[in-house]
A and B are shown apart, each in its own frame.
Chain A
Amino acid sequence: MQAIVTDGLTRKFNGLTAVDHVTLQIKKGELFGLLGPNGAGKTTFIHMLCTILPPTEGTAKVAGFDIHQNPDSVRAAIGIVFQDPSLDNRLTGRENLDFHGRVYGMSKIQREKRIGEILKLVELEKRANTLVQTYSSGMRRRLEIARGLMHHPKIMFLDEPTLGLDPQTRRKIWEYIQMLNKQEGTTILLTTHYMDEAEYLCDRVGIIDYGKIIALDEPEKLKDQLEGDIVSLEVPQPRKYAEVFRGSKYVKEVKVVGDYLHLTVTGAEKTIPKLMQIIARHNGKVRSVGLRSPTLEDVFIRYTGRGIREEGGGVKEEMRLWAKASSR
Chain B
Amino acid sequence: MSAQAIYVLWLRDMKWFLRAKARIISMIMMPFLWLAIIGMGLGAVTTLPGDEPYINFLTPGIVGMAILFGATMSGISVLWDKQFGFMKEILVAPVSRISIMLGKVFGGTTTSIIQGLLLLLVAGLIGAKMPGFAGFFLVLLFMTILAIGFVSLGLAIASRIEDPIAFPLVVNFLIMPLFFTSGAIFPLSTAPGWLKSIAHINPVTYGVDGLRGAIGVSGYPEFPLWLDFAVLAIFSLAMILLGAYLFKKMKA
Contact = CB atoms under 8 A, between A and B. Distances in A.
Interface in B80-126: 81, 84-86, 88-96
A87 B88 CA distance: 9
Given A52-B92, A75-B92, A75-B93, A103 B84 contact: no
Nearest to B20: A90
Interface stretch (A8-16, A77-85, A112-120, A288-296): A77-85
Contacts, number: 65
B15 interface: yes
A87 B93 contact: no
B15 A91 contact: yes
B92 A76 contact: no
A51 B97 CA distance: 13
A50 B84 contact: no
B8 interface: yes
Secondary structure call for the B interface? helix
B84 A327 contact: yes
A100 B7 CA distance: 12
A89 interface: yes
A105 B15 CA distance: 20
Contact of A89 (B12, B84, B252): B84
Contact of A103 (B15, B16, B88, B90): B90
> B4, B16, B91, B96 — which one has the most chain A CB atoms within 10 A of its CB?
B4
A76 B2 CA distance: 13
B86 A103 contact: no
A91 B12 contact: yes
Interface residues of A, number: 26
A105 B2 contact: yes
Nearest to B86: A88
Given A85-B84, A85-B85, A89-B84, A102 B8 contact: yes
Given A85-B84, A91-B15, A105-B2, A80 B7 contact: no
Contacts of A322: none
Interface string B52-92: 00000000000000000000000000000100111011111
Interface string A91-128: 10001000110111100000000000000000000000
B5 interface: yes
Given A102-B4, A103-B8, A84 B85 contact: yes
Interface residues of B, number: 24
A86 interface: yes
Interface in A15-67: 50-52
A146 to B, nearest CB: 13
Contacts of A105: 2, 4, 94
Given A52-B91, A80-B92, A88-B84, A99 B8 contact: yes
Given A85-B85, A87-B86, A104 B93 contact: yes
A72 interface: yes
B21 interface: no
Given A89-B84, A90-B16, A100 B92 contact: no
B97 to A, nearest CB: 11
A202 to B, nearest CB: 23
B94 A75 contact: yes
B16 A82 contact: no
Contacts of B94: 72-73, 75-76, 103-105
B164 to A, nearest CB: 13
Given A50-B92, A88-B81, A103-B90, 12 more contacts: A52-B88, A52-B92, A82-B85, A85-B85, A87-B84, A87-B85, A88-B86, A90-B16, A90-B19, A103-B94, A103-B95, A104-B94
The 7 closest A-B pairs by CB, nearest first: A86-B85, A75-B94, A76-B94, A102-B8, A103-B93, A86-B89, A86-B88
7 contacts: A51-B92, A82-B89, A84-B88, A86-B88, A86-B89, A89-B84, A103-B95
